[in-house]
Chain A
Amino acid sequence: MTLASPIMKWLAPSMIRSVVISVAALVIGLLILFLGALPERTALRVAGDEAHTLDVRLSQMRATVATAEHQKQACDKLMAERDALVTSGVIEPLLGSFSMRGKNLLDPIARQTGFHIDGVRELQPIPLQLPKPAPEQLHYRQPVEFTGQGSYTQITAFITQVEASQPLVALSGLLILSQPQTPETHKAVITFEWPAKGEKIKTDKLPKK
């Protein structure tokens, strides 16, 4: 007040009123600016960004939902393709044994061709190459070894008919041995392999795309 007093004395009362009103208005204005408008503007910007994000998400969701019918058709088509492949030659164990399954599948062909199956043995499964992205349901190669006897013609007829009747079977090993005691009958060890259903693994354990 010691400094203000001389100024106050010098200023006219109407001017003092004017200055007081101006200072008060200025203080109120600054309070509005810093405590009201600027924080509100920041909040509005944040809300605008959030709304934009939601808007984009909603647009994407709508676009995705719009493909539902097409997606279903594509899914059904691929399911049919997979089912056709699986039923055409993916084998499952019979009574817990792939050798039983193999014998069950090939016995009729062996009888038809005259090849005599003496024994069937299930070999170690072989892992199958993975496509990218890898499926959760894996398949592997399951070899089954057939030991038997027959003439060369019977053996080759057996192999040819198995290959013709089983779309996914592959000859993975063969040994035909002539036997001096029975020149017309040979010993044969034939290994056929089929794809078989493997384990189902979690997506996070699979290789990246």
Chain B
Amino acid sequence: MNTPLHLDLLNDEERFSSSPIRMRVMLPLTTSFVTLCLLLWWSLLCLRTHSQAQYKEALQQAITSLTPAHSAVLALRAQEQEYRSIVRQLGLYKNARNPYGKMLSNLAEHVTPTIQLTQLSVPPPQPPAADPANPLFGPTNTFEAVTLHLSGRTGGEHPSEAVNTLLATFRTPAFTNVFRTAVIPKGSFRQDVARDPESREILLFDITCDCVPRRFE
């Protein structure tokens, strides 16, 4: 009976795997390498954070040194805006200025001897509509209507013709730069009943002219 005898004379630590990669060497090597990489990454991050902090400090210093000049320019800008707004507000007023002197002077030349004007009026403007919640914000309307009322007397052979001629004059280019419309209100052409009987042939009349509105624009 030949029984094969197998003798294993190797110690445990002397055993080798058939694999070319030895786990007991590779495992600590790999983990140590990864740890070293992480350490290196952390160091790089620290370095970059430090340089970033220095860059930030430099920026802060530059901002601090530039602040007075910057504030001065901002103040200039605010001042310019304020001047611009004042000029605009006064401009709104200036644009809404309609001269009447020349028209009033011309008017006398067109009144015939048979007409006597007794009253000429331009009523003062109505108080402008303002936002009651914010009265400081000024009026909300941008234009203001202007009306001129004329009252007079006329006599002679054809009193109505003289008034109609005057009315027609108000529709000529000499007046249309000031008047938009000119009408004799209904019922305003009437006899002068208040005076003595001799004056009953005299007619009273009114003319209402809508002037070019004042535009605060």
Q: How far is the CA of A79 from the CA of B86 in the complex (A)?
A: 10
Give every chain B residue within 8 A of A111 (Cβ-Cβ): none
- CB contact under 8 A between A44 and B48, given known A14-B13, A58-B63: yes
Smallest distance from the beta carbon of B95 to chain A beta carbons, Å?
10
Smallest distance from the beta carbon of B202 to chain A beta carbons, Å?
13
Within 8 A of A (CB), among B88-104: 88-94, 96-102, 104
Give every chain A residue within 8 A of B87 (Cβ-Cβ): 78, 81-82, 85
Q: Are A58 and B59 in contact (CB-based, < 8 A)?
A: yes
The residue among B31, B34, B137 with the most chain A CB atoms within 10 A of its own CB is B31
- CB contact under 8 A between A164 and B39, given known A47-B53, A174-B120: no
Q: A60's closest neighbor in chain B, by CB?
A: B70
- Residue positions of B touching A, CB distance < 8 A: 12-13, 15, 23-25, 27-28, 30-32, 34-35, 38-39, 41-42, 45-46, 48-49, 52-53, 55-56, 59-60, 62-63, 66-67, 69-70, 72-74, 76-77, 79-94, 96-102, 104-105, 107-108, 116-125, 127-128, 130, 134-139, 142, 148, 214, 216
Q: Are B89 and A128 in contact (CB-based, < 8 A)?
A: yes
Q: How far is the CA of A201 from the CA of B13 in the complex (A)?
A: 94
Q: Are A32 and B35 in contact (CB-based, < 8 A)?
A: yes
Q: Give the contact stretch, choosing among A91-99, A100-108, A152-160.
A: A152-160
The residue among B25, B139, B142 with the most chain A CB atoms within 10 A of its own CB is B139
Main secondary structure of the interface of A (DSSP, over half): helix
Smallest distance from the beta carbon of A96 to chain B beta carbons, Å?
23
Q: Are A29 and B35 in contact (CB-based, < 8 A)?
A: yes
Q: How far is the CA of A61 from the CA of B25 in the complex (A)?
A: 60
What are 27 A-B contacts defined by CB distance under 8 Å?
A: A12-B13, A14-B24, A15-B24, A18-B25, A22-B27, A22-B31, A29-B38, A36-B38, A37-B38, A55-B59, A58-B59, A75-B77, A75-B83, A78-B84, A82-B83, A86-B90, A128-B92, A128-B93, A128-B138, A131-B92, A133-B81, A153-B105, A159-B104, A160-B102, A168-B93, A173-B122, A177-B118
Select A137's contact among B41, B82, B105, B135, beta carbons within 8 Å.
Answer: B82
Main secondary structure of the interface of B (DSSP, over half): helix
Q: Are B139 and A129 in contact (CB-based, < 8 A)?
A: yes
Q: How far is the CA of A68 from the CA of B204 in the complex (A)?
A: 69
Q: When A and B form their complex, which 6 residue pairs have the shortest distance between CB atoms, in order from nearest?
A: A160-B101, A135-B85, A29-B35, A173-B124, A131-B88, A78-B83
Q: Contacts A36-B42, A48-B52, A177-B118 given; 11 further ones with Cβ under 8 A?
A: A23-B31, A25-B28, A26-B35, A51-B56, A75-B80, A128-B93, A139-B93, A160-B105, A173-B124, A191-B124, A201-B136
Q: Are B45 and A40 in contact (CB-based, < 8 A)?
A: yes
Select B31's contact among A29, A55, A71, A130, beta carbons within 8 Å.
Answer: A29
Q: Are B76 and A72 in contact (CB-based, < 8 A)?
A: yes
Q: How far is the CA of A205 from the CA of B134 in the complex (A)?
A: 9
Q: B52's closest neighbor in chain A, by CB?
A: A47
